[in-house]
Structure 1
């Protein structure tokens, strides 16, 4: 059973180095977690990171050791906008406001903790996929930094068009239905405009992009190959290096399958569930 706020922190009996590891946090919109989300949250707990899950509903199936707190502590979420876009849409805003308020590292609920995040790493983010662009599925930033200021200003004062958009993208936005809000029009034009696009742009503008980890650091398996996590004959670890800290499981890419099925024995998802102590059969979509 997850801990309700106020939390009690990491389990007693852990050494001081582990007990003092950096806090991590995420957001869940909805009443129930699924087994891969449980797996990923528990992996951070097991590595000694104080782990907080901000929620919009009364989530009862979070793993033991995860502290549950209301999302409203960070920001009010426009659930009508979420309904018109996606649960991940406003989480792109939420994560930076959470980092500014708490200093925790943001983790997506489908990011598995392969190794603990080093204490001395002020900037935790990395390249993703085959293009070299940045992703924001795992982000650690100083609470006060220029890139944070620019990101929050972008979200709080949306421009007519994101400044990095070309003419084609702007024309596409102009064709969106008038009934959509400005934010929803941006989302309908480019789904990643609030997420990786914005982060990559402002990381370049502020120069922090030089701190990006290589793809193997946080996203070792390309999105295009995400089925390998469920392949009992796949060699997921072949993508890892000594720099690998986190493994993104890309649950959006496999949603139709994994919501209703236990991972095949021998697959990476199955082995990690066994390692962490998650029973997938208890958190399948009905």
Structure 2
């Protein structure tokens, strides 16, 4: 090795040295109650969801393969290699014909639970109040009617790390590498199946606890017309799932904050992340963007008493 190295090589070595030292300290750290994973830089919308956890006093750890990632104050960073050493697996999980970080995160969450026992939360989960699952062994909830094959979602998931269901989830997720499968096959569909196999499906919390807004109404927290409906739906909820996959499918711009008067807009103001957005959608503009998805206007209020920021 020569004494003269490129800045890129030196930077890579410094990053690797940082993560090695950080990883050595991890076993001595008390595992947080909540943990999640993210690949790449954080968009403003995801950043805001993460910020909601420390806002309510919930300890959250973000696992990542990135050496430099900007996270909200109070969110811990951890090297994802401490859970899954082979970061090439991120690009080998495929859903509906495309590489899916979300599908890989199913493997990661099952392995994280197996190693740490922490409660997993997706990065599109908004914390609505201080949760405390420290004395509960099983934490997961329904997103759909019990008769549905994907009834139980794994966006919020805590399991005893030595329970056989965890090993089965890990094995099934590992077997899906390089396979092009439908969205959710090793997520809600697998968890619903495995909870039945292990006689745990009765442990699932009812829909309003974690998924008070169903996925095909993902747009309601974004529009001021539905503010009262969302407030009512989330009144007793611990979390709100934003369904990021549908943000992607609908072409929602995550660098833009939702319109003034919407549930999400006020949440960003509350947790202090509003200034991270490049601009704010106007209500009419966003309704046009989401027009192909808005199917139920029963909860719409035409007089919200708010105006758009200019």
TM-score bucket of the superposed structures, by smaller chain: 0.7 to 0.9
Is 2:240 the counterpart of 1:247? yes
Q: How does 1:78-227 map to 2 (within 5 A)?
A: 78-82=89-93, 85-118=99-132, 119-129=134-144, 131=148, 133-156=151-174, 158=175, 183-185=177-179, 188-227=180-219
Of 228, 236, 245, 2:230 maps to: 236
Q: Which residue of 1 aligns with 2:6?
A: none
1:106 Cα deviation from its structure 2 partner: 0.4
Q: Which residue of 1 aligns with 2:307?
A: none
Moved beyond 3 Å, runs of 4+ = 4-7, 129-132, 280-284
In 2, Cα distance between equivalents of 1:152 and 1:21: 20
Q: Give 1 or 2 for the bigger CA radius of gyration.
A: 2
Distance change in 2, residues 1:283/1:209 (3 Å): farther
Contact 1:219 1:247 in 2 (8 A): yes
> Which whole-Å deviations, capped at 9, do the CAs of 1:150-179 have from their partners, x for residues lacking one?
2123234x3xxxxxxxxxxxxxxxxxxxxx
Q: For structure 1, which runs of at least 5 residues remain unmatched after alignment?
A: 8-19, 159-181
The structure showing larger relative contact order (alpha-carbon pairs under 8 Å, at least 6 residues apart) is 1
Contact 1:35 1:280 in 2 (8 A): no
Q: Please, what TM-score do these two structures have when normalized by structure 2?
A: 0.71
Is 2:67 the counterpart of 1:58? yes
